Structure 1
Amino acid sequence: MKLFLLTFLIALLLVRVAMGQQPTTDKAVEQEIRRLEQGQVDYLLQGDTLAIAKQWSPDYVVNNPFNQAVNASQGPVRQGNLTYSAFTRDVEKVLIHGQTAIAMGGETVVPSGKSANAGKTIKRRFTDVWMNTTGKWLLVARHASVICQGQ
């Protein structure tokens, strides 16, 4: 319960910060975020943890599908403990507020190797928060939740 409350408060703070900025309709920025999102998927499928981490803020936090809020640099992806044989991401919406971009949508993954649920197809929803710092878009926060069967 404490983890849920902490995650909720962090998400509320991020939304509040983003709401304080005027949204833009910059198509070039939206295309860049969509390109970066696909890059994350490609790096995960290739197992390229060094390349994927280059798109992360040093304090990038993930509320992962295992009900843990972790610093990504110490999480299962970075440690090589989470691999996929298939991964598709459908970015349904990109919101841009100044130097902050929020990408939302759905994912279908098939974990592989020693990963939990290896070989099973899992559907989930995600929200990624990107910030443009020093001229470079970096992931600062992510939330991914498994969609229950039948939904």
Structure 2
Amino acid sequence: MLKHLLATTVLVIAVPIAAQLDPGVRMPPEIGAAYGRLGKAMMAHDAAGVRTVWADDFVVNSPDNRVLTREQVIAAMAQEFLDYKDFHKHITYVGEKPEMTVVMGYDTMVPLKGPGAGKQVMRPFTDIWAKRPAGWQLVARQATIAEAR
């Protein structure tokens, strides 16, 4: 069950991020750079690199309402359950506060394994970034597969 869950719910990718911002949406440079580092780390299955972007207390809410920790997601990454192709991030909203930033939008990708394998899926998401001593870190994510084509 956890393998099925992780294959369909979690963050970014095993291919470079192609991000598209809606008109009028501005991505803070530090968070844009963190998304880039995260994409590279995920693609390389680099747990140490992922840990620099995901906070120690990072959690993700999955489609079946299970909350997964950073280490549970990294374990799935190590087993190649989070590999996708044709991954695109569409940013529709960025809300900046001094110590927190909310990023919303949707991802489109083709999972290589698990449910939807070989089909394009759309996954709306909400990412919560917090300013920490180490810099901006992702602390929470909600991502649910909305549609498979």
Q: TM-score, normalised by structure 1?
A: 0.68
User: Are 1:63 and 2:58 matched, yes or no?
Assistant: no
Give 1:111's aligned amino acid. Answer: P
Instruction: Name the structure 2 match of 1:4.
Output: none
Matching of residues 118-137 of structure 1 within 5 Å: 118-137=117-136
Out of 20, 28, 31, the residue aligned to residue 29 of structure 2 is: 31
Aligned 8 A contact 1:62 1:69 in 2: yes
Larger proportion of helix: 1
**Which secondary structure state, in structure 1, belongs to the residue aligned with residue 30 of structure 2?**
helix
Q: Supply the RMSD in Å over aligned alpha carbons.
A: 2.5
Structure 1 stretches lacking a partner, 5+ long? 1-26
CA deviation map 1:46-90 (0-9, x unaligned): 433432232111110001345421112112335542211231111
User: Structure 1: which 4+ aligned runs deviate by more than 6 Å?
Assistant: none
Instruction: Name the structure 1 match of 2:138.
Output: 139
Matching of residues 83-102 of structure 1 within 5 Å: 83-102=83-102
How far off is 1:121 after superposition? 0.9
Distance in 2, matches of 1:34 and 1:132, equals 14
Distance in 1, matches of 2:142 and 2:71, equals 15
Sort the Cα spacing of 1:38 and 1:65 in 2 relative to 1 into closer, same or farther, 3 A.
Answer: farther
RCO comparison, higher one (Cα < 8 Å, 6+)? 2
How far off is 1:96 after superposition? 1.2
Distance in 2, matches of 1:86 and 1:146, equals 16
Distance in 1, matches of 2:60 and 2:79, equals 14
Structure 2 stretches lacking a partner, 5+ long? 1-25
Greater shift, 72-81 or 59-68, is seen at: 72-81
Distance in 2, matches of 1:73 and 1:102, equals 22
Q: Size of the alignment, in residue pairs?
A: 122
**Which secondary structure state, in structure 1, belongs to the residue aligned with residue 37 of structure 2?**
helix
